[in-house]
Amino acid sequence: MTDVQTSSVSGGPSRVLVVDDDPTIVLLLEHVLGGLGWPYDTAEDGDAAWRAWDKDHHALVVLDIEMPGMDGLQLCRRLRAGDPERKTFVLILTGHAKATDLEAALSAGADDYVTKPVTGQPLTARLRIAQRRMEADAARRAAEEELRKARYMAGIGEMTVTIQHEINNPLTGILASAELMLMDAKEKGLPTEDLRLIIEQAHRISALVKRMSELRDPKTVTHPGGPKMVDLK
């Protein structure tokens, strides 16, 4: 059978995927995960596991190296290709303890490994360690995202100051010249509509630059046609 089987327990990582064609190992993992209260799915081969992960993007994948069809190393490489940010933690089960075998598992993208035979207590401990590492990785990614946002906001602030400087100086000159031309046109009885329009639009630009300088928590809005723009309202 290659269909994915699903449990209904809750807690722990968002979801665990157990990939092994050995019913004894699967039963052990189900017992351990059930005791931890972690939700899990099971798959008996690499192809079924890939379909399951591609659908749900499990937070933790526990997989055997030796499986029919797509083996554990092939599956691990495919998971890493589909998860460049390594949000999925991959724990390899292997019956080979040679350094070259373990190096191959890590080179394929595994985060950790457990050598067989394994019993419930050490497996539970290894899963707890995996959970702590996943939480640390999630915290690191969140901190990196906050830093990225902070740098982005700092960049917006610097750009706003630059725009203010580069726009306000020539804009002041345009407004002064237009005001003088308007006064002169009034004295000579000449039409003033075009000059009033120039002054009005210049004041709109000035107000826009002022709103940009007052942005503290800029948000984007989608305008007609699809482009996202900073909301200056």
Using CB atoms within 10 Å of the CB of residue 182, give its burial: 0 to 12 exposed, 13 to 18 middle, 19+ buried.
middle
Look up residue 186 and give its two tokens.
Answer: 């009034």
5-118: which CATH number, 3.30.160.20, 3.40.50.2300, 1.20.120.1200, 3.40.50.620? Answer: 3.40.50.2300
Q: Which residues, at least 6 apart from 45, have a Cβ–Cβ distance to it below 8 Å?
A: 2, 19, 21, 67, 68, 69, 70
**What is the 3 state secondary structure string of the chain?**
CCCCEECCCCCCCCCEEEECCCHHHHHHHHHHHHHHCCCEEEECCHHHHHHHHHHHCCCEEEEECCCCCCCHHHHHHHHHHHCCCCCCEEEEEECCCCHHHHHHHHHCCCCEEEECCCCHHHHHHHHHHHHHHHHHHHHHHHHHHHHHHHHHHHHHHHHHHHHHHHHHHHHHHHHHHHHHHHHHHHHHCCCCHHHHHHHHHHHHHHHHHHHHHCCCCCCEEECCCCCEEECCC
Q: How confident is the model at residue 161 (pLDDT cuts 50, 70, 90)?
A: confident
Overall average pLDDT of the 157-175 stretch:
79
Do 91 and 64 contact (CB within 8 A), yes or no?
no
pTM of the model: 0.62
Look up residue 179 and give its two tokens.
Answer: 């005001």
Instruction: Express each pLDDT in 4-18 by its tens digit.
Output: 555 444 446 678 999
Please provide the average confidence, as pLDDT, over all residues in the chain: 83
Instruction: Express each pLDDT in 175-189 by its tens digit.
Output: 889 888 989 888 888
Q: Give percent above pLDDT 70 in the chain.
A: 84
Domain assignments of the chain as residue spans, ordered by start: 5-118, 149-230
Pairing of strands 40-43, 89-94: unpaired
